[in-house]
A = this chain, B = another copy of it.
Amino acid sequence: MKRAGFGFEIVARDGAARCARLTTPHGVVETPAFMSVATYGAVRGLDPLELRAVGAQILLANTYHLHERPGEDTIAKLGGLHGFTGWSGPWLTDSGGYQVTSLADRLEVSERGVSFRSPLDGRTRLLSPESAMDIQQALGPDIAMVLDECVPPRDDAPDHAARAAAAHTRTLRWAERCKAHHHRPDQALFGIVQGGGSATARQESAAALREIGFDGYAHGGLGLGEAREERRALVEVAQAELPLELPRYLMGLGRPVDLLDGVAGGIDLFDCVLPTRHARHGALFTSQGLLRIKNTRYRDDPGPPDPACDCPLCTNHSRAYLAHLVHSKEALGARLASLHNLRFYLRLLERARDAIREGRLDALRAELDAVYPEDAASD
């Protein structure tokens, strides 16, 4: 990475997979890395100290939610995301585009940007490439994302192909405008590959983004219904067009096996709400597979949720106590389960980094595929 204060140094490889040190103005991230999602500037009831203790290196915040409340100006005045939230390590923000299109009403996408009615005050607003940059430059994360238009790979509407193609080319024009409007020297800017379910469009998108030139690249619009093999192929074809020496990020995915698929395909960064969302429903990722703590068999179980886990839940509490907390809707249950699931994800990436260094990523993937078979209801 050419930007001052940033660096991306690849330290080991295993096939297409790589281990690297991503340096940012707020610290180093060992990659491949999982970014915990702090939607409103906090990871679901967890504080920065305990996130650090379970191995979190970098957090992701949702630009759209923070723009609505408390607003980027307030956050900027209070020291940006780092000062405002107390997480002083690296931050990444999304562009807000995905949240707007999934949450807002009266959506209209035009060349100017995305206009929508705010669910908060009912007023119409415009999220443009320029305003997406302004907001993220005010929020102050270490890494900002371009505004993109996401069209799912699968869609039965008759005009799907035309819409996907239009979105893909518009996303490229928006990417140029984002780059032109991005001035903050201490913030990296990543481009986002789109193209729906078309390998050709994804390849074109990646090549065009590389031409524009970003500090890193992401794959967007995946994990939206396409099959695992299809996704791997769509990522692979785009990866081939992206510069090897820069970080790549697979947005919004996913299950543990999806992460290792990505790692094997040369992805460096991941984020997903699955660990915290599953935790709130009492579903725990463990070394023996998914454990649904509400199952009556755990009612009297004195053992730790996962005997192989070193998180505060598994170190201090029984399955029976967690089951009771979750059944009682006591907030401590969701908190401890979230911490556990994040520890599982963060530990999984630690293990992936070790495996890459030791040339045994395939063995780790085979182990995980056995514990989390494709047909298991893990999402």
Binding site for B on A (CB under 8 A): 39-48, 65, 69-70, 74, 77-78, 84-86, 299-300, 302, 312, 316-318, 320-321, 323-325, 327-328, 330-336
Contacts and interface: CB of A to CB of B under 8 A. Distances in A.
Contact of A42 (B47, B70, B330): B330
Contact of A300 (B74, B318, B332, B336): B74
Contacts of A84: 318, 320-321, 324
A334 B42 CA distance: 12
Given A42-B325, A325-B40, A320 B47 contact: no
A42 B327 contact: no
Nearest to A301: B78
B321 A85 contact: yes
A133 B320 CA distance: 24
7 contacts: A45-B45, A69-B328, A74-B300, A77-B302, A78-B302, A84-B318, A84-B321
Contact of A332 (B45, B69, B325, B327): B45
Given A42-B331, A335-B335, 4 more contacts: A47-B332, A70-B324, A74-B320, A331-B335
A84 B316 CA distance: 10
A70 B320 contact: yes
Contacts of A312: 47
Contacts of A324: 40-41, 69-70, 74, 84
Given A321-B85, A336-B47, A328 B78 contact: no
Contacts of A45: 45, 330-332, 335
